[in-house]
Amino acid sequence: MADQLWTRSATELASLIASGDVSSREVVDAHLDRIDAVNPELNAITVHMADDARAAADRADGSEPSGPLHGVPFTIKENIDQVGFATTQAVAAFVEAKPATNAPTVQRMLHAGAIPIGRTNMPELGLRVSTDNALRGLTRNPWSHDHTAGGSSGGEGSAIAAGMSPIGLGNDIGGSIRNPALCCGVAGLKPGYGRIPRATTIAPTEPGVSGQLMAVEGPMARTIADLRLGYEILSGSTPVDPRVVDAPIDGPPMAKRCGVVRDLGASTIGVGALAAVDDAAAALSDAGWEVVEIEVPDLAATHDVWLRMLAFDFSEALPLLATIMGEQEISVLRTLVAEAESRPGSAPQLFMERMRLQKLWSQVFANTPVVVGPGWNNPPFRHGDDLVEGEQMSILDDQLSFIVPANALGLPAVAMKTGEHDSLPTGVQIYANQQREDRCLSAAAVIENTNGVIRPIDPVWA
């Protein structure tokens, strides 16, 4: 069994360890061996913790179960604080930026008994939808040597897809959990506002506007059961993040009624993405759900709100950021800020518009408690296409048209693989109203029951 342990989900591994069928050391060794086998080509894991992980596994095997992930390995994105390791954010300027304490999400995974085995790659400061940087290099997609693994949690997506990790920690301000989940054919939960804490001891410790209102931490995995367990472990209040409240994991029962989005207005949904939506809708319908086609409110206005809120945090910081970021990367950020600042309306008007859109989406959820739509409208692009001058905004507008509502409006969303098209994964997103992550996860579980659980793949080298 040991040689196949890297194919198992986190919940499966936890059960095997708890029953005594396998040891934590066997599980950790299996994943470390898998890292040795495939990571040199993928470059998903940037910091290896083999010795520490083996020592932790031995301690786990010699102790009573400490939590629901006792002895199970996990990975951590490089912009999440972990004591003893630099929070590099993939820039050389931060290679000595070591935190005083663990981030809340890391601490909660440790408290649940999980064992960190590596830190994962990301773009500089998390500001691209593809994962490459001068410090750590390019992360490749296990499905295709030449196509993006997504960003900014691209290292997590690639590592989980290839079996190097069963579950990991990412974050999401513009699809940074969901983009790599969709590109690499795994699953990710972007929680709603106020569910999972986010904090750092690396200056600046207080987030800006977009960081406060749009950026969230969340789990990535291959199964919906793992996402749910990760969500349960990570959720809840803490003094270091006053935005987060204690709320029930499961809300009141919902009607099994799903709104399906097959039209995004100005953004064209590609053949593979549309087939993924139809497959998800069919799975829900076959399970007894009422499925109706709907239109979602004013996606262009929602994208505008997201873009302008994101630019708040970077417009004044551009001169400083230019000293630590690559020329192409800072050029993309300048383009984004310039585009945001060219749009009309004051800051108060922007937040009034945000409230208008939140109300409209709330009305959608009153009639259809779950909304299923595309992930990326088109397949993952080739490495570097998002840096081509004149193409940056079109890629953001096109691929992220159904991604950014979750960030702009504080909504939960699950991204998951549902199929394949032209040898690349396809998938969908499942939206629900604020504080109803349970609805997203319930619908995702139904779709998974039809399409099958995601298993790791062997990387395609060329």
Pick the catalytic residue from 23, 24, 152, 153.
Answer: 152
| Catalytic-residue membership of 98 | no
CA 197 vs CA 80, 186, 194, 205, 414: distances in Å: 12, 23, 7, 13, 18
Pick the catalytic residue from 23, 77, 235, 417.
Answer: 77
| Catalytic-residue membership of 394 | no
| Catalytic-residue membership of 77 | yes
Pick the catalytic residue from 176, 210, 235, 401.
Answer: 176
- Cβ neighbours for 313, distance < 8 A, ≥ 6 positions apart: 207, 208, 209, 210, 211
**Which residues carry out catalysis?**
77, 152, 176
